[in-house]
Amino acid sequence: MKITMWIKYAVFAGAAIGVNLGTQAIALAVYSGDYSIYIAMVFGTGAGLVVKYILDKLFIFYDKTPGVRDNVKKFAVYTVMGIVTTAIFWGSELLFDFLIKAEWSKFAGGAVGLTAGYTVKYFLDRRFVFVKNEAGAQKE
C-alpha cells in the first residue's frame, strides 16, 4: 500500500475512532448505571463499524460491488472480520479502565485498542472482504 493510502486510511480510522468514542461519551452521559461501559462500547462499536465500512468500501478499497444482496454479504464478512479487532479494542479499553480508574482512561484505552485493531483490520479486509482478482479488479 502506498504511503498516501496509509495516510488516508489513518485519517479515516481517526474519523471512525472519533465516531466510536463520541458515541460512547454520549451513551455514558445518557446512562451511567450498571454495565454502562459495556452498553456504551456496544453503541460506539456499532456506529464506528458503519462509518468505517462506508469509508473503507468507497475510498480505500474502491469497491464497486453492485446490488443490495452482495453488499449485505460483504458487510456481513466485514463485520465478522471486525470480531477479532473488536476483541483487541474492548480488551484495551477495559484494561485501561480497570488499571487506571480515571474518567479519561477508558477513552485512552479505546483509542489505543482501536488503533491497533484497525491496523490488523486493514489486512483482514484486504484478504477476506475486498478481494481483488489477478488483474487487480474487485472480485464480485
pLDDT of residue 133: 59
pLDDT of residue 56: 97
Count: domains in the chain: 1
The answer to the question of residue 137 being in a domain is: no
User: Residues with Cβ < 8 Å from 36, sequence gap 6 or more?
Assistant: 27, 28
pLDDT of residue 140: 52
pLDDT of residue 78: 97
User: Residues with Cβ < 8 Å from 17, sequence gap 6 or more?
Assistant: 48, 110, 111, 114, 115, 118
pLDDT of residue 136: 58
The answer to the question of residue 118 being in a domain is: yes
The answer to the question of residue 138 being in a domain is: no
The answer to the question of residue 136 being in a domain is: no
The answer to the question of residue 135 being in a domain is: no
The answer to the question of residue 104 being in a domain is: yes
Q: Which residues of the chain have pLDDT under 70?
A: 1, 133-140
The answer to the question of residue 140 being in a domain is: no
pLDDT of residue 3: 87
pLDDT of residue 1: 62
> The pTM is what?
0.86
The answer to the question of residue 98 being in a domain is: yes
Instruction: Give the domain extent around 39.
Output: 3-128
